[in-house]
Amino acid sequence: MCADYNPARIQHLERLHLGSHTIAPPAFAFSETFPGGVAPFLANILSAEWLPGMFGMVPHWGDPAKLSRMTYNARAETVAEKPSFRAAWKNKQFGLIPAECFFEPNYESGKAVRWRIGRADGEPFMLAGIWERRMHDEGPAHWSFSMLTINADDHPLMHRFHKPGDEKRSVVVLDPDDHEGWLNARTEPEARSYLRLFEPELMTAGPAPLPPRRKPPA
């Protein structure tokens, strides 16, 4: 499950386009993003604007401070059933999440080591997501989103992450030719046809441990 990623940089977002139209660059600051943080995403109802969304989807009945810590990933197998996600899925609230890389824990050394996963060619990429809009909330959860995930037990790269014995999961890295199709999917079978594992040679991965925390001065 992905709980830490770097959104695509503004200079990359400025040159991205969808079909025949360009997308207005974000007018807000963002950086490495964890659940509850705000990052750019594209909603299929406003496909010409990068929106500031909370990472961790919050429906109208949820508490943003609590729920976003539990809803940053939506399992494809249960997205149509879980209370936090089912309305967005039913209403086909599909989105694109631009990423430079994402991070996962690798236990091959016997302990958790943070690894960075990104495209082998260094280019940004889009992740499949779903979104919510809290109409009467002007705070950071006004827009919010979750990354869809799928089983990766047999994937040559993604099976290397998370605790031994745990199910392996992967975010959905969309092919550029599928961006518009995902946003415009109108039936559940059509939407699910885009939820597939990426080709392993597309991405590269390696250790990227967090720097040690500095102790406050005495």
Sequence spans of domains, the chain: 5-207
- The secondary structure element, H or E, covering residue 94 is strand 94-106
- The secondary structure element, H or E, covering residue 86 is helix 86-90
Task: Using the predicted structure, report yes or no on whether residue 172 has a pLDDT greater than 90.
Answer: yes
CATH homologous superfamily of 5-207: SOS response associated peptidase-like (3.90.1680.10)
Q: What is the mean pLDDT of residues 102-128?
A: 96
pTM over 0.75: yes
Task: Using the predicted structure, report yes or no on whether residue 216 has a pLDDT greater than 60.
Answer: no
Alpha carbon distance 138, 101 (integer Å): 29
Q: What is the mean pLDDT of residues 71-98?
A: 97
Contact yes or no for 146/74 (Cβ under 8 A): yes
Structure confidence at residue 217 (pLDDT): 59
Q: Which residue has the higher pLDDT, 99 or 27?
A: 99
Contact yes or no for 57/71 (Cβ under 8 A): yes
The pLDDT confidence band at residue 17, using thresholds 50, 70 and 90, is: confident
- The secondary structure element, H or E, covering residue 67 is helix 64-67
Task: Using the predicted structure, report yes or no on whether residue 163 has a pLDDT greater than 90.
Answer: yes
Task: Please tell me the number of Cα atoms within 13 Å of 125 on its side-chain side.
Answer: 21
Average pLDDT over all residues of the chain = 93
